[in-house]
A and B are shown apart, each in its own frame.
Chain A
Amino acid sequence: MPSLPPIRPEDEAVAKVRGNTGAFDAPPVAEEDRVRFDYLLRLGDDSLILGQRLSEYCGHAPSVEVDLSLANMGLDLIGQATHFLEYASKVEGAGRDGDALAFRRDVLDFRNCWLVEQPNGDFAQTMARQFLFSTWQKLLFGQLTASADEMIAAIAAKAVKEVTYHEELSAEWVIRLGDGTDESRRRMKEGLDWNWRFIPELFEMDEIAAEMTSRGIGADVGSFREEYDRKVRAVIEQATLEVPSDQRPILGGRRGHHSENLGHILAPMQYLQRTYPDATW
């Protein structure tokens, strides 16, 4: 052991009059920030996973025009995810950047809802998923534009314009396919049936969502449930289809408990980052 300077009587005198400055621990992350971090992951992961799903379509869509619109939506969503996750990394302050959050977390730490991780299925199932999600996301972002968190408000203000188009485009396809041919009608009915179970999770108010709402940062999803139902029903009616029946809610995504799909989405998505952990790209 190296020799250390002695503690002199004058040092002891100074120590005696110094105030008690805190506990022996790393600087605490404010509880508020941890909740905010989790909330940002929910916002970012929803966009990231749906963007990832849509990008699987690239080059395989029913027409060039549809390829363009799916890629366009995917691009919007990846952009939103980037903003939310970059901001989440700042709030967390643990040295992980947005890419580390996207490519180095495993299933249990993802906070997206079940709806966005559902398989593309056929084009009807993809559009049903998009419609049910974008209708919700537009209402959500609409409210978040007034968030007390200026960064969230700014991201939402940009994103709400994008998802307005997503909602319109997907609603048009729900109507077109529902009221198209017998086959497209059957497929759209099945697409809606498949995804319908995951709507309640979008409106789940757990402790984190409630705290964010009470702080004026998060959205009060319950406040637009009726509007959501009304919009969705109107489109389904215009598509001359029946509204699927509700079932017991499937929850868990917001706490890291997902469907089996998520692991398979993350495996290719994270493969380069995981295989070459020391590389930058």
Chain B
Amino acid sequence: MAMLTTLVCFARVVCLCRAHYVTRLLLSWCMNCRPDVQIQITMTNMFLYLDKRDTMSQRSERRGIHVDQSELLCKKGCGYYGNAAWQGLCSKCWREEYQRARQRQIQEDWALAEKLQREEEAAYVSSHSSSQTQPPQSHSQQSLATFSKFEEKKTNEKTRKVTTVKKFFSPSSRTAPKKVPPEKESEKQEKEEKLQGRRESHGENLLRDLKGIFTQPWEMASPTEESHEGKAPSPSITRQSSIETDRVSRDFVEFLKTLQKPGREVHKQSRGFIESMGNKKDLSAEELSECVQDFYQGMSDRLLNHFKGSSEKVDRVMDQVEKYIMTRLYKSVFCPETSDDEKKDLATQRRIRALHWVTIQMLCVPVDEEIPEVSDSVVKAITDIIEMDSKRVPRDKLACITSCSKHIFNTIRVTKNEPASADDFLPTLIYIVLKANPPRLQSNIQYITRFCNPSRLMTGEDGYYFTNLCCAVAFIEKLDAQSLNLSPEEFERYMSGQASPRRQDDPAAWPQSGSRVNPALSQIHHNLKLLSNLEKRQQQVTEGAQNLQTELAEWQDSVAREVQEILERYPLEIKPRASAIDAENVENDRLPPPLQPQVFAG
């Protein structure tokens, strides 16, 4: 590398001598033998330089091109030549410098993560210990410590409040109120509510919401903000998200460590890319998508060709890169204000709500929800498709769709007892989407289309399910009387809410069709029936018990009465004993006296 650097420097010197063709020859030779980006960039710059030289006048050119010998040397003064691409250092010094910076970065990341963890724990402990009225003696030390932390937290919050207010009112700040549609406001409020801890008071929530509304979304997720977070008290508005981004970046760094040199470069490029995206917030969604896709393409090309990675390995790296980048960019590129995604979201949501009356029969869905396993899977599928909105990485969103599809296949398989074909799958998916009405469906689809790694989206299994979801949405948008096998009049009446397909059935069929429409309702009916049965049986039992009790009492009485009667009828007479035991021994006194012990002397 050092040799190449000197070569470049040499090329510059030659360039000074106006030997154009020699320079170009040299440069092209360099490029052929070392297709290294860094060097290429320098070279490209030089080409530009040379082109400029060609067009510019001699004088200005001389002024522009003149480079002092000392400027070419390494800034550290080690005697080697430096390189502009390495901040004027030579390769060796640059590597040292870069390593140190990277180590520092990693340590900071760790420190930040640990700090967040500690804070979280402290908050947890303090919320517990403060609820105790009399902390036991042994815990007093600890609770004191946590209490001081709690206090600290409070003051932090206070200062934050002040800065928030300041930010809110200061005219110079970039947080000038923007027009925010009311739906978005409520949506954001919801988001904020999810993010914030349970301990904060309502007033603070409100302030934070305001801040959330008036801050540019970019500011909340930009990597620069994160670096501020290390110094400032961590604003809890981004706490949860920053914990997530931190976790993702830590995972990313850990993963790249296993790759050594390519890993370092991947990390560097990814960081650089995120920073460069920070300057492009004014671009349209399509242009942003182009940037990200270009980056994916460039990265995978490079991994494949330069580092000679196997395609599986490259795929794995690209997954991680996607996760890292999109977690960071999510807030700024998901449903961007430059696009009309949000309008489409609302339109779709309204449309699905208006179609609430569509039944399984109309769509010819081969699913029998009377079977408990099937209705279970239906619920799971609905949950999965709704959950998609909560994920940040396109691939995770795809995974939700895939999981939803698997549940759908299960319902079909259980109902029809054969593998599901697309003829069965698509109507069922449409039915699930209609029932779930997933939040921000269009935004999610657009986001995945724009920012997912294309190789995954176009060919893999996930891509197939995603395509089906797109089809389902397209179908719902264009759905008309014909596609449900209804007459246009019927369709109109259902859409306007004048009639409901269920009420046309005879009244006897009503509870049945009702239960088919709502499994939970049928469950409730079932439970109610069970309960009333139980109640009846309990009544029977208590009646029986009471009967038994009275019977027992009667029996006791009757027994007592009987005993009494018998006693009365046969009174107990005890005759006096006829004589004493010895009475019959008449001649007692005739017996000789009993023998007496006698003492003999002798």
A, B: real partners: no
List chain B positions with a Cβ less than 8 A from chain A: none
List chain A positions with a Cβ less than 8 A from chain B: none
